[in-house]
Amino acid sequence: MSTHEADHPAYPPIRPCLSAEELLAAKNTQPIRSVDDLAADTFESDEELEEFLAFTYAERHRDVT
């Protein structure tokens, strides 16, 4: 039993080459107009933020000898 390349799709799928402007337009993005546009309420409390920072610091330094 033999198979041809046409029987199997390319992996990963071939996508059209789009410019950055075309990709941004497809996502309906808007320019950042102020630093407030970047604000996000990621953590529910200061304690949650501190736990995340402590974890991140520990993980980054875990294998450093």
| pLDDT tens-digit series, residues 6-59 | 676 667 778 789 999 999 999 999 889 999 988 888 999 999 999 999 999 999
What is the tally of structural domains in the chain? 1
Give the span between the Cα atoms of 26 and 59, in whole angstroms: 37
pLDDT for 15 equals 79
pLDDT for 60 equals 93
Give the span between the Cα atoms of 26 and 54, in whole angstroms: 38
Domain around 51: 5-61
